[in-house]
Amino acid sequence: MQRDVILADRATTSIERIIRQLQGASLIGAERAKDEMIARIRSLGSNAMPADARKAKFDTVAEDIWSVLAHNHRIYYLVEERRVIVLDVILDAEIHSVEAG
Protein backbone atom coordinates (compact mmCIF):
# COMPACT_ATOMS: atom_id res chain seq x y z
CA MET A 1 0.00 0.00 0.00
CA GLN A 2 1.37 3.38 -1.00
CA ARG A 3 1.00 6.01 1.72
CA ASP A 4 1.53 9.74 1.57
CA VAL A 5 4.58 10.86 3.53
CA ILE A 6 4.14 14.07 5.49
CA LEU A 7 6.97 15.95 7.20
CA ALA A 8 6.02 17.68 10.44
CA ASP A 9 7.47 21.17 10.87
CA ARG A 10 9.76 19.84 13.59
CA ALA A 11 11.18 17.18 11.26
CA THR A 12 11.80 19.74 8.51
CA THR A 13 13.58 22.05 10.95
CA SER A 14 15.65 19.15 12.29
CA ILE A 15 16.75 18.04 8.82
CA GLU A 16 17.72 21.59 7.87
CA ARG A 17 19.72 21.99 11.11
CA ILE A 18 21.47 18.63 10.62
CA ILE A 19 22.47 19.50 7.06
CA ARG A 20 23.79 22.93 8.09
CA GLN A 21 25.90 21.34 10.84
CA LEU A 22 27.27 18.68 8.50
CA GLN A 23 28.11 21.29 5.85
CA GLY A 24 30.52 22.86 8.33
CA ALA A 25 32.61 19.69 8.21
CA SER A 26 32.07 18.49 4.64
CA LEU A 27 29.84 19.67 1.82
CA ILE A 28 30.03 16.27 0.14
CA GLY A 29 29.29 14.46 3.41
CA ALA A 30 26.33 16.74 4.06
CA GLU A 31 24.96 16.07 0.57
CA ARG A 32 25.30 12.31 1.03
CA ALA A 33 23.60 12.45 4.44
CA LYS A 34 20.77 14.55 3.02
CA ASP A 35 20.29 12.19 0.08
CA GLU A 36 20.25 9.17 2.40
CA MET A 37 17.72 10.75 4.77
CA ILE A 38 15.42 11.84 1.93
CA ALA A 39 15.58 8.42 0.26
CA ARG A 40 14.79 6.72 3.56
CA ILE A 41 11.87 9.05 4.27
CA ARG A 42 10.45 8.54 0.77
CA SER A 43 10.74 4.76 1.12
CA LEU A 44 8.41 4.86 4.14
CA GLY A 45 5.55 5.66 1.75
CA SER A 46 5.80 2.23 0.15
CA ASN A 47 7.08 0.29 3.16
CA ALA A 48 6.27 1.87 6.51
CA MET A 49 7.49 -1.17 8.43
CA PRO A 50 10.87 -2.16 6.99
CA ALA A 51 12.74 -5.00 8.68
CA ASP A 52 15.01 -2.62 10.60
CA ALA A 53 12.18 -0.41 11.94
CA ARG A 54 11.77 -0.41 15.67
CA LYS A 55 9.06 0.82 17.97
CA ALA A 56 10.04 3.90 19.93
CA LYS A 57 9.71 3.72 23.69
CA PHE A 58 8.06 6.87 25.02
CA ASP A 59 6.30 6.60 28.38
CA THR A 60 3.99 9.55 27.78
CA VAL A 61 2.96 8.93 24.17
CA ALA A 62 -0.01 6.66 23.46
CA GLU A 63 0.49 6.23 19.69
CA ASP A 64 2.83 3.67 18.19
CA ILE A 65 5.78 5.70 17.02
CA TRP A 66 8.40 3.91 14.95
CA SER A 67 11.94 4.76 13.96
CA VAL A 68 14.43 3.86 11.26
CA LEU A 69 18.03 4.78 10.76
CA ALA A 70 19.38 6.93 7.94
CA HIS A 71 23.03 7.90 7.88
CA ASN A 72 23.64 8.14 11.63
CA HIS A 73 20.33 9.81 12.36
CA ARG A 74 17.12 8.26 13.61
CA ILE A 75 13.86 9.16 11.85
CA TYR A 76 10.80 9.00 14.12
CA TYR A 77 7.43 8.56 12.45
CA LEU A 78 3.80 7.69 12.99
CA VAL A 79 2.01 5.27 10.66
CA GLU A 80 -1.61 5.97 9.85
CA GLU A 81 -3.90 4.15 7.45
CA ARG A 82 -3.17 6.34 4.42
CA ARG A 83 -0.10 8.28 5.45
CA VAL A 84 3.17 8.30 7.33
CA ILE A 85 3.96 11.38 9.39
CA VAL A 86 7.66 12.02 9.99
CA LEU A 87 7.79 13.62 13.42
CA ASP A 88 11.48 14.28 14.04
CA VAL A 89 15.02 13.38 13.02
CA ILE A 90 17.76 13.22 15.63
CA LEU A 91 21.33 12.02 15.97
CA ASP A 92 21.26 8.35 16.98
CA ALA A 93 22.87 8.23 20.43
CA GLU A 94 23.92 4.56 20.14
CA ILE A 95 25.76 5.02 16.85
CA HIS A 96 27.19 8.40 17.85
CA SER A 97 28.65 7.01 21.10
CA VAL A 98 30.33 4.14 19.19
CA GLU A 99 31.77 6.51 16.58
CA ALA A 100 33.01 8.97 19.22
CA GLY A 101 34.63 6.24 21.35
Tell me the pLDDT of the chain (101 aa) as tens digits: 899 999 999 999 999 999 999 998 899 989 999 999 999 999 999 999 999 999 887 766 667 899 999 988 999 999 999 999 999 999 887 654 444 44
Domains of the chain: 4-100 (3.30.2310.20)
In the chain, % helix, strand, coil (3-state, to 5) comes to: 40, 30, 30
Where helices occur in 1-101 by DSSP H, the ranges are 9-25, 27-43, 93-100
- Conformation bin of residue 71: beta by default, left when phi > 0, alpha when psi is -120 to 50: left
pTM (predicted TM-score): 0.85
End-to-end CA distance of the chain: 41
